[in-house]
Structure 1
Amino acid sequence: MKKFECLYEGTAQQGNPTLLNEIYTELYITESESGEISNEHEVRQIETQSRRAATEDTPIKCSDIFKPLPGQDKPIRTVLTKGVAGIGKTVSVQKFILDWAEEKENQDVQLIFPLPFREINLMKDETLSLSELLHVFFHESKEIEISSDKYKVLFIFDGLDECRLPLNFHQNEILRDQTKETSVDVLLTNLIVGNLLPSALIWITSRPAAADLVPSECVHRVTEVRGFNDPQKEEYFRKRISDQSLANTIISHLKLSRSLYIMCHIPVFCWISATVLEKMLSEAETGEIPKTLTQMYTHFLILQTNIKHEKDYEQNVTDEDMILKLGKLAFQQLVKGNVIFYEEDLRECGIDVTEASVYSGLCTQIFREEFGLYQKKVFCFVHLSIQEHLAALYVHLFYKNNSSQVFSREFSDLSMFLKYTLSDVHQRAVDEALESKNGHLDLFLRFLLGLSVESHQILLQGLRTLTRGNFHSNEKTIEYIKEKIRIIDSPEKSINLFHCLNELGDRSVVEEMQQFLKSGKLCEAKLSCSQWLHDCGITDGGCAALTSALKSNPSHLRELDLTDNKLGDLGVNRLSDGLKDPHCNLEILKLRHCGVTDEGCAALASALRSNPSPLRQLNLSINDLGDKGVTLLCAGLKHPHCQLEILKLSRCGVTDEGCAALTSALRSNPEHLRELSLFANNFSDSAVKMLRELKNEYKLETRM
């Protein structure tokens, strides 16, 4: 209780502690629609979540994650909770443990062992038994016989994304004896799988991109922490800032910038924004109030270095040394995909442990030094986005100062590097970001480009000796990005490039699109897929124009996402008419939460029977289809022309009758379908058993 009752917002050991129960707001946690793992950059995921209606998901209280939902009778042993950095996963763990310690919740559990991966990493080369491992972290466990059924035990593994163990689930030896000495990796994999202590509960938290390190068959429930919804954002600022007039001013300012307001889904970003804006709006500060991410983070960095000078720390630790060394660490580890660092990582960047302690004291709210249960030091930036900002600043400053090479594959030595312009560096960074499969350089790119704007150059001069050289025109970079937008076929990457243009202060492409949309010539246009975004207020009228495009000769469109638009059955009927056309080549159609009922299902079934049907994926989740709609849809699934491979019908009001229709359709035409999502429908045990038999018989991936 003593360890978990206080929360240090933004800092590890310094600052005044705040009682967690006084400020805790129940975060929005949902049971994930599936165990699917997202490799997108987390800012992309936040932007997607911001467009998702709260009513689409069933929230779960943190204290109830091991309790079955109504209609679920299968016991839950292992829970994987995913969520982007800073969204509140660790705070949720802290609240769970505190409620348990205060005897408020989960009193059927007798023992809880919290084992953060950042601390387990420190023992990755050790050979010991499970009992010995627990004794290292919890000395009191030596007298407890946890292998018996006398105790119900919960192990909490926080921060799977920080794990540096191989986690060889499929190669590691099977271990059932908790007294046998082996590697820590073997102990963890056997504990999670259930070979060791099969009655123990397991809770794992992770950022989304690392969640697939644990095989899906080992996980009984996947939950997701969504952070703050819009009312909770405002509640946070009104709690955080005592002057309510100032709090309202800050909220109004953030709402003016969509990119900033979206980021406020992350509690840590709310704290960063509050820190910066409270000072700038309450004092006679000069300069422009931050309107972009880069401006916000640069102001935050300057604020922290000013705090250092106010505290009069050692003069031999200069701003330049501190920021460049931290920036080098941030950049090198970002490229490697690491967010937790150890002493060897620091030494590679010229930072010794003594310096690290000083830096931690200077910039507690940027860089943290922590002592784990194992009493060894680990280091991290307060949030991934701070690491990305410092990494971008490092690259920008090294180029501006002609100090070093950064992109070594392009610039093999310093003399070659000096031949390139800043535009060349920017273009190389754009290419690197576009080549990244998971978008892990997207936010880094936005920061890098934003730092080159003239207003930022003036702002950076406040960091003493950091910035030298002349201002630079970004026209070549802007044109390069516009060209990439025209040719790339990834909507997410296109969106990030639009954000990059915004950071550079260029709105010409957005203005062109706005003028085009106002012209009423949508059906005549040849738009790239990056220009079709879901949740656009499209109704059945817009579907008529889309249908015309699908019938064009030939139609090049392969994927259409109309999620969260009010199409209704009339709109779906029109789209289905386009799907039947022999010139239509659409393969992926997403109609999630579009107001579709059984009438729309009948039209789609007719399209699936067309000769031939190109459609491979169909998402109808969160529509009121009911058994009648699913039965009508199955008439299309049975047809030999149907080529559908993935069908998603989560939260569609399907019961056993619809399940029977799906079973019949699969048995009559099982050749193509390989994935079926039926999450959150009301099936009986017998229906679930029937679907599992189909899954095994046809090697079908079924999610329920």
Structure 2
Amino acid sequence: MTEYGVKCTKGLRCRLSQCKITDEGCVALTSALRSNPSHLRHLHLSDNNVGDSGVKLISTVLENPHCKLETLTLSWCKIKDEGCVALTSALRSNPSHLRHLDLSHNNVGDSGVKLISTVLENPHCKLETLKLSQCNMTDEGCVALTSALRSNPSHLRHLDLSDNNVGDSGVKLISTVLENPHCKLKTLKLNWCNFPITDEGCVALTSALRSNPSHLRHLDLSDNNVGDSGVKLISTVLENPHCKLETLKLMRCKITDEGCVALTSALRSNPSHLRHLNLSDNNVGDSGVKLISTVLENPHCELETLELNWCNITDEGCVALTSALRSNPSHLRELSLYGYHVGDSGEKQICKLRDDPHYKLETVSILGWLKNDFI
């Protein structure tokens, strides 16, 4: 079946994203699941007109003690806090099976987040992934969410709060969860906060990660006012030998080569864990790339993906990159340099490495000056 069509596999997975489903379809679906609740593990209903009435129907399945659903995806489904009332009521009565819940791009708001928090604080709740991107959440919702996670910190692994009105005050609240030694959070997404995170929020975040550095694997702070001062703070986490961060995304964070000095110094002292680095759309320039290249040439560096799109890099920066990759060719798999400043000579140097079987470089993405061809 197609990506957005119906997909059922041995009764375990049902994908109905973008299928123009309304609550009428939910009546039939939930009727079937109530008669046979024990097999379905993953249900995807994203981008449908499910609404609160549809969620109420789905909730009658979730509250069934024989229901073993592990993944429920309801992003872009026009859900409000009324739907959250039914959903959370069901999960409180049967909290032990659902592992992944996606309510992104719904008008859940703080009231909805408060309801969801009552599920998270239940010691029998085993939720590992919670996605609340673009849900009109503010610091008020963060208060309830972080209070719940402080009382039951050991299960949630992945938290997405991107594109909400969180800001520095919200980050300070979340940091109180991260510093808890029982917290096992591996992924934290705080990109595109409508009240952008500044170095003030980074102070709280990095303080928490320095006291409990060993669990977080993926951090996304893109589209915030992190700046060089914020990067310097994050670098103090990266240089900690107990830090296991694998993915760091800092797109559009107003970083210059000054921030790169701190970042690369940290990665030179602790180069073996970071696998994916995205610094796209920052004023890094050739000087910043030269600094990053000193990390790449370290034989202990295991970086697999490096994204430097729209970073004002020219052929001069490409020379430093190719020299570093020649001295340490075995790890980098993907290199992205979209932008209008890389010329033919820089492009050719990088692409030679991609085509050489001695190197592990598999994907090179470059858009040269006034060119329309994507490599």
Aligned residues: 291
- Partners in 1 of 2:66 and 2:312 — Cα distance? 49
Q: Name the structure 1 match of 2:90.
A: 477
SS, match of residue 565 in structure 1: coil
Q: Name the structure 1 match of 2:142.
A: 513
Q: Name the structure 1 match of 2:364.
A: 702
Superposed CA deviations along residues 8-45 of structure 1, whole A, max 9, x for unmatched, are xxxxxxxxxxxxxxxxxxxxxxxxxxxxxxxxxxxxxx
2:176 alignment partner, one of 506, 519, 524: 524
Matches within 5 A, 1:173-572: 384=18, 386-387=20-21, 389-396=23-30, 405-407=35-37, 409=39, 422-425=61-64, 428=67, 430-433=69-72, 441-443=73-75, 476-479=89-92, 493-496=100-103, 507-508=114-115, 509=117, 511=140, 513-514=142-143, 517=169, 522-526=174-178, 528=185, 532-536=189-193, 537-572=196-231
Letter in 1 for 2:190: L
8 A Cα contact 2:38 2:67, kept in partner:
no
Residue 690 of structure 1 deviates from its aligned partner by 1.5
Residue 391 of structure 1 deviates from its aligned partner by 3.4
Letter in 2 for 1:514: V
Against the structure 1 CA distance between its residues 479 and 498, is the aligned structure 2 distance closer, same or farther, given a 3 Å change threshold? farther
Residue 422 of structure 1 deviates from its aligned partner by 4.1
Residue 450 of structure 1 deviates from its aligned partner by 6.9
- Partners in 2 of 1:585 and 1:556 — Cα distance? 7
SS, match of residue 211 in structure 2: coil
Identity of aligned residues (%): 38
SS, match of residue 329 in structure 2: coil
8 A Cα contact 1:388 1:443, kept in partner:
no
Residue 627 of structure 1 deviates from its aligned partner by 1.1
8 A Cα contact 2:192 2:224, kept in partner:
yes
- Partners in 2 of 1:530 and 1:672 — Cα distance? 23
Letter in 2 for 1:496: L
Residue 658 of structure 1 deviates from its aligned partner by 0.7
- Partners in 1 of 2:93 and 2:114 — Cα distance? 14
Against the structure 1 CA distance between its residues 410 and 613, is the aligned structure 2 distance closer, same or farther, given a 3 Å change threshold? closer
Superposed CA deviations along residues 623-650 of structure 1, whole A, max 9, x for unmatched, are 1111111112112221223221111111
SS, match of residue 589 in structure 1: strand
Superposed CA deviations along residues 135-187 of structure 1, whole A, max 9, x for unmatched, are xxxxxxxxxxxxxxxxxxxxxxxxxx96xxxxxxxxxxxxxxxxxxxxxxxxx
Gap runs ≥5 in structure 2:
42-58, 118-136, 147-168, 367-375
Letter in 1 for 2:345: S
Q: Name the structure 1 match of 2:165.
A: none
SS, match of residue 335 in structure 2: strand
- Partners in 2 of 1:666 and 1:566 — Cα distance? 31
Q: Which has the higher contact order (CA 8 A, sep 6+)?
A: 1
Residue 428 of structure 1 deviates from its aligned partner by 3.6
Normalising by structure 1, we get a TM-score of: 0.36
- Partners in 2 of 1:573 and 1:519 — Cα distance? 17
Q: Name the structure 2 match of 1:643.
A: 302
8 A Cα contact 1:450 1:503, kept in partner:
no
SS, match of residue 290 in structure 2: helix
Q: Name the structure 1 match of 2:284.
A: 625
8 A Cα contact 1:624 1:652, kept in partner:
yes
Superposed CA deviations along residues 296-336 of structure 1, whole A, max 9, x for unmatched, are xxxxxxxxxxxxxxxxxxxxxxxxxxxxxxxxx98989x77
Normalising by structure 2, we get a TM-score of: 0.63
Against the structure 1 CA distance between its residues 583 and 686, is the aligned structure 2 distance closer, same or farther, given a 3 Å change threshold? same
Q: Name the structure 2 match of 1:634.
A: 293
Letter in 1 for 2:239: K
- Partners in 2 of 1:338 and 1:607 — Cα distance? 45
8 A Cα contact 2:250 2:278, kept in partner:
yes
Letter in 2 for 1:535: W
Q: Name the structure 2 match of 1:144.
A: none
Residue 539 of structure 1 deviates from its aligned partner by 0.9
Against the structure 1 CA distance between its residues 562 and 474, is the aligned structure 2 distance closer, same or farther, given a 3 Å change threshold? closer
- Partners in 2 of 1:649 and 1:427 — Cα distance? 49
Residue 661 of structure 1 deviates from its aligned partner by 0.8
8 A Cα contact 1:605 1:636, kept in partner:
yes
Superposed CA deviations along residues 385-437 of structure 1, whole A, max 9, x for unmatched, are 523654323223567xxxx73547369xxxxxxxx97444598475243xxxx
8 A Cα contact 1:550 1:579, kept in partner:
no
Which structure has the highest helix share of the two? 1
Against the structure 1 CA distance between its residues 606 and 429, is the aligned structure 2 distance closer, same or farther, given a 3 Å change threshold? same
- Partners in 2 of 1:674 and 1:596 — Cα distance? 24
2:262 alignment partner, one of 603, 609, 631: 603
SS, match of residue 618 in structure 1: strand
Letter in 1 for 2:142: M
Residue 622 of structure 1 deviates from its aligned partner by 0.8
8 A Cα contact 1:385 1:443, kept in partner:
no
Against the structure 1 CA distance between its residues 529 and 658, is the aligned structure 2 distance closer, same or farther, given a 3 Å change threshold? same
Q: Name the structure 1 match of 2:338.
A: 679
SS, match of residue 702 in structure 1: strand
Q: Name the structure 2 match of 1:670.
A: 329
Against the structure 1 CA distance between its residues 551 and 495, is the aligned structure 2 distance closer, same or farther, given a 3 Å change threshold? same
8 A Cα contact 1:552 1:584, kept in partner:
no
Superposed CA deviations along residues 324-368 of structure 1, whole A, max 9, x for unmatched, are xxxxx98989x77589xxxxxxxxxxxxxxxxxxxxxxxxxxxxx
8 A Cα contact 1:388 1:444, kept in partner:
no
2:236 alignment partner, one of 567, 577, 590: 577
Residue 552 of structure 1 deviates from its aligned partner by 2.2
- Partners in 1 of 2:317 and 2:231 — Cα distance? 21
Residue 535 of structure 1 deviates from its aligned partner by 2.0
Residue 598 of structure 1 deviates from its aligned partner by 0.8
Residue 678 of structure 1 deviates from its aligned partner by 1.1
